[in-house]
Amino acid sequence: MVRALDLAWRGWGRVHPNPLVGATVLAGNALVGEGWHPEYGDRHAEPLALDQAGERASGATLVVTLEPCAHRGKQPPCTEAIVRAGVRRVVAALADPNPAAAGGADRLRAAGIEVEIGLLGHIAAAQNAPFLHGFREQSRPFIALKLATTLDGRIADAAGRSRWISGREAQEYVHW
């Protein structure tokens, strides 16, 4: 799941209003396929990972950061690709909160595929906070606030000159 979460970040800034999604295909202990949702309207992570795995996806485990979709939008349902590939088990970090896309786990179970939801779900939820917020708090916008101050509560040096207080990682995270 850690690898799938890392892959999901590759869609950062390009998939909105869709969520960040990463997927890996495991045959035994071997990683045989991986994918991520690269941009809005493009193919989803699951079929990309399954394509890379090819025939090795049959009987394998698909690890994905969000429950596979069960609806037809700009792309066909990911559940169809999973069933067609012969995947034995799906492990998802989060259930899909979107009522239009949800139901993938039920469809997979109906096809005889073992489904587990919740592995590292707290990390996937943090990764997709803007997406999830829209389904939990529809009357309020998603706002991220970052405040950097020195130990004495200032935002500049002693002479009043502006200086970078926060580190590079914090600057990259908030300037998206």
Active site residues: 46
Q: Could you please report the per-residue DSSP string of 2-36?
A: HHHHHHHGGGTTTSTTSPP-EEEEEETTEEEEEEE
* Contact call for residues 104 and 76 (beta carbons, < 8 A): no
**Dihedrals phi, psi of 90, to nearest 5 degrees:** -125, 130
Pairing of strands 61-66, 89-94: parallel
What gap in Å lies between CA 71 and CA 131, rounded to an integer?
A: 18
Rounded to a whole number of angstroms, the CA Rg of the chain reads 19
- Which residues, including other chains, have CB under 8 Å from residue 80's CB and lie 6 or more apart? none
